[in-house]
Structure 1
Amino acid sequence: MKKLAILGSTGSIGTSTLSICESFPDRYRPIALAAGQNLDAAFEQCTKWRPQVISIATEELAAKLRQRLKEAGISSIEVVYGTAGTVRVATLPEVDFVVSAIVGVAGLEATYAAVKAGKTIGLANKECLVAAGELIMAAAKEHNVALLPIDSEHNAVHQCMRGGETREVRRIWLTASGGPFRNTPAPAFEHITPAQALKHPTWVMGQRITIDSATLMNKGFEVIEACRLFSLPPAQVRVSVHPQSTVHSMVEFIDGSILAQISVTDMRLPILYALAYPERVDATPASGLQFDLTTLSQLDFSAPDLERFPCLRLAYEAAATGGEACIALNAADEIAVAAFLEGHISFLGIPRTIEKVLQQTSGRHPSSIREVLEADLAARACARDVISQQFSGVLR
């Protein structure tokens, strides 16, 4: 039985992980949860799963949760809060496996602490490797920790890489749906609205990641993440637009062979793969995870247009520079996406803002998580200044 800590237990990856625990109760048990600000969901998870420890965002929410648990007659759960609480969840001695699914850099310190504590990590937080990949990968090597990707694309690459040695890989191919605007004429991009950009053709996701998919920045982050996870330079990580989203990624080997991973578009599958690795668990037909090959009538692949989607180009440039460039890429994108959703800048204002911030960012390589977080804050401030000066927007 693997004992799990789930960072981001009330989000989509967290709830999918709990669904896996429910389907395989003899294999996986959640004993530590980090639940963010969703008090009601945190309480429900406590009553159902009875973890040893749960962390919530603030001291005030922690007090409310303790009171609700007391009224429910539950006194065995330790309630903690804030960053220190999340670190406590991630490093609980009894935990075997940590699912890192907190969105953004908020989960960075806890994930790094879990690596240093020698925990196996199921990584669904791409910002950790984008912003602090150099530090995290070095710590993972030092402490002999396995980082198992949960993002569907990197999970697919991980599966395909089992077909050969790293030295035998010519390149890896990350597939992208292309988002809602893959066929939109370039002149129309200036007039794209938030409502249009939030209509993803394949996946149901949070607002930021949906906008990032529309700009292809999400794919850019995945390029950086792939470089870290698989020790490859940016030139060996390619992107292919694949509207069907059936082939999740591919690995091309030096003999010309290409291995592709095909499965349903359900995040429970990569989560289960990571939890079970190096085994594979039998997913019955009732699970809904089996793929019907008769539905494979057409598979299309094409190169992304870097002129229409400059965010992907900026990500490749940041990947080549590394260090603070990757931190700034992520931070500026988060601020710019928020500004777009609030109507302060246009859709193309997102890459324009990011490019301006990158131009003002040094190529330094932080030597600690504290320096990463400082660079993150500086890049966010720079992005707000760029938006204020260039677009006359006022951010809330």
Structure 2
Amino acid sequence: MKRLAILGSTGSIGQSTLSIVSSYPDRYSVATLAAGRNLDAAFEQARRWRPRVVSLATEELAAELAHRLKAAGTTGVEVLWGTAGSVVCATHPDVDFAVSAIVGVAGLEATHAAILAGKPVGLANKECMVAAGEILTAAARERNVPLLPIDSEHNAVHQCMRVGTTAEVKQVWLTASGGPFRQWPLEQFAGITPEQALKHPTWVMGQRITIDSATMLNKGLEVIEACRLFDLPASQIRVTVHPQSTVHSLVEYIDGSILAQISVTDMRLPILYALAYPERPASSLTFDLAALSHLDFAPPDFERFPCLRLAYEAAEMGGAHCIALNAADEVAVDAFLGRRIPFLGIPRTIEEVLERTPAHHPETIAGVLEADSQARERAREVVSAAAIRV
């Protein structure tokens, strides 16, 4: 029985992970849950799974959850809050495996703490690897802690790389749907609305990641994450636009062989792979080969998607520039959703913040968080200066 810490339990990855636990009760159980701000969902999860610890974002939410659990007669669940509570969830002695699915750098400290505590980690939080990948991977190597990707593209690469060594890899291909605007005329981009950008053609995801998919910044973050996870330079990580989204990634080897991972577009499959690794349990997640009757692959248009170009530039610089890329995007996406900047204001904000960011490689998590805070402040200044309402 593998006992899980689910960091980000009320989000889509957290809920899918709980679905896996429900489907494999002889393999997995819930030890701790970090649930953020969704009080109602946290209450239902705590009653259903009876974890040792539940952590919420604030002391007020934690107090309310404790009150509700007591009124419902649910005992034995410790309720904590904040980053410290998430760290307790990640490092609890009953935890055998931590699923890192807290959105953004908010999950960084808990993920790092899990690694330091020797817990294998399933990574569904690309922002942690973008901002602090060098620190996290170094800590994992020192402690021989597995970092198993849950993002579908990196999970696919991990599967394809099981048959060869890193030295045998010529290049990795990350597939991208191209989002809703891959065929739109460029002159229409200035008028894109949040409602249009939130209509992803393939996946149902949170707001930020959906907007990031529309700008292809999400794929840029994945390029940086792949560099960290697989110890490859950005020049060996390629992006190909694949609208069908049936091939999740490919690995090209130096002998000319190309291996592709193909499966249904269901996040339960990569989650199960990470939880069970190196085993492959039977599942009901089957794939219809008829879906392979038509496959398109095309190079990305860097003029149409400047955020992808900016991500490659940040990957080459590393350190503070990767931190700034992620932080500036988060601020810019929030401003776009709030109609304070236009769609094209997202790459403009990111580019200006990167230009203002000095080269620096933080060596501690505290240093990463300080660089992140500085980048967010620069981004807010850029957004405020733009003062454009669409």
Task: Establish whether residue 392 from structure 1 lines up as the match of residue 384 from structure 2.
Answer: no
- The 3-state SS of whatever aligns with 1:35 is strand
- 1:203 counterpart letter in structure 2: W
Q: 1:268: which partner in 2?
A: 268
Aligned pairs (5 A) from 1:60-139: 60-139=60-139
- Partner amino acid, structure 2, of 1:371: G
Displaced runs of 4 or more, over 6 A: none
Q: Tell me whether 1:25 sits opposite 2:25 in the alignment.
A: yes
Match of residue 3 from structure 1: 3
**1:301-320 superposed matches below 5 A:** 301-320=297-316
Q: Which amino acid aligns with 1:77?
A: V
Question: Superposition pairs for residues 141-156 of structure 1, below 5 Å?
Answer: 141-156=141-156
TM-score (norm 1): 0.97
Equivalent residue for 2:39?
39
Match of 2:328 among 332, 337, 343: 332
Identity of aligned residues (%): 72
**Letter of the structure 2 residue corresponding to residue 355 of structure 1:** E
Q: SS at 1:317's partner residue? A: helix
1:130-161 residue CA offsets vs partner (Å, 9 max, x unmatched): 00111111111111110000000000000000
Quote the residue 1:245 is aligned against: 245
- Give a deviation string over 1:318-362, Cα, whole Å, max 9, x none: 000000000000000001111111111111110001000000001
2:208 alignment counterpart:
208
User: Which position in structure 1 is the counterpart of 2:195?
Assistant: 195
Matched, 1:355 2:351: yes
> 2:203 aligns to what SS in structure 1?
coil
SS of residue paired to 2:281: coil
| 1:294 CA drift (Å) | 2.2
Cα distance in structure 2, aligned partners of 1:139 and 1:181: 39
Count of equivalent residues: 389
Could you report, residue by residue, the CA deviation over 1:258-306 in whole angstroms, capped at 9, with x for unpaired residues? Answer: 00000000000000000000000011xxx3x100112321000000000
CA distance in 2 between counterparts of 1:185 and 1:39 reads 43
123-132 or 293-302: bigger deviation? 293-302
Distance in structure 1 (CA, Å) of the matches to 2:380 and 2:46: 39
Task: Kindly provide the amino acid, as one letter, of the partner of residue 72 in structure 2.
Answer: A
- Residue deviations 1:36-68 (CA, integer Å, cap 9, x gap): 011111110111100011111111111111111
Q: Secondary structure at the match of 1:118?
A: coil
Contact 2:246–2:291 (Cα < 8 Å) also in 1: no
SS of residue matched to 2:180: helix
Alignment of 1:166-245 (within 5 A): 166-245=166-245
CA-to-aligned-CA distance 1:108-151 (integer Å, 9 cap, x gap): 00000000101000000000000011111111111111000000
Q: Name the CA distance, whole Å, in 2 between partners of 1:317 and 1:25.
A: 45
- Once the two structures are overlaid, the 10-residue window that deviates more, 213-222 or 335-344, is 335-344
1:368 alignment partner in structure 2: 364
Alpha-carbon distance in 1 for matches of 2:103, 2:249: 23
Distance in 2 (alpha carbons) for counterparts of 1:269 and 1:104: 23
Q: Find the aligned partners of 2:214 and 2:106 in 1 and give their Cα distance.
A: 23
Spell out, residue by residue over 1:198-247, the C-alpha distance to the aligned partner (whole angstroms, 9 max, x if none): 11000011111000000000000000000000000000000000000000
Q: Report what 1:157 is aligned to.
A: 157
Q: How many angstroms apart in 2 are the aligned matches of 1:81 and 1:388? A: 32
Question: Does residue 354 of structure 2 align to residue 381 of structure 1?
Answer: no
Question: Secondary structure, in 3 states, of the residue corresponding to 2:5?
Answer: strand
**Given residue 248 of structure 1, which amino acid in structure 2 is its aligned partner?**
H
Secondary structure of 1:248's match? strand
Structure 1: how far apart are the matches of 2:177 and 2:74? 46
Once the two structures are superposed, residues 79-128 of structure 1 have per-residue CA deviations (whole angstroms, 9 ceiling, x without a partner) of 11100000000000111100000000000000000001010000000000
> What is the distance in 1 between the residues matched to 2:232 and 2:170?
10
1:214 and 1:379 map into 2 onto residues whose CA distance is 22
Given that 2:342 and 2:388 are in contact with CA atoms closer than 8 Å, whether structure 1 keeps it comes out as no
Name the amino acid aligned to 1:99. Answer: V
Q: Secondary structure at the match of 1:338?
A: helix
Would you say 1:296 and 2:263 are equivalent positions? no
Instruction: Give the drift of 1:393.
Output: 4.6
Structure 2 gaps of 5+ residues are: none
Q: CA RMSD in A?
A: 0.8
Q: Secondary structure at the match of 1:181?
A: coil
The question of 1:279 aligning with 2:315 is answered no
Q: Distance in 1 between matches of 2:6 and 2:359?
A: 34
Residue identity in the other structure for 1:379? A
Q: TM-score, normalised by structure 2?
A: 0.99
Instruction: Show structure 1 runs of 5+ residues with no match.
Output: none
Conserved in 1, the CA contact under 8 Å of 2:55 and 2:86? yes
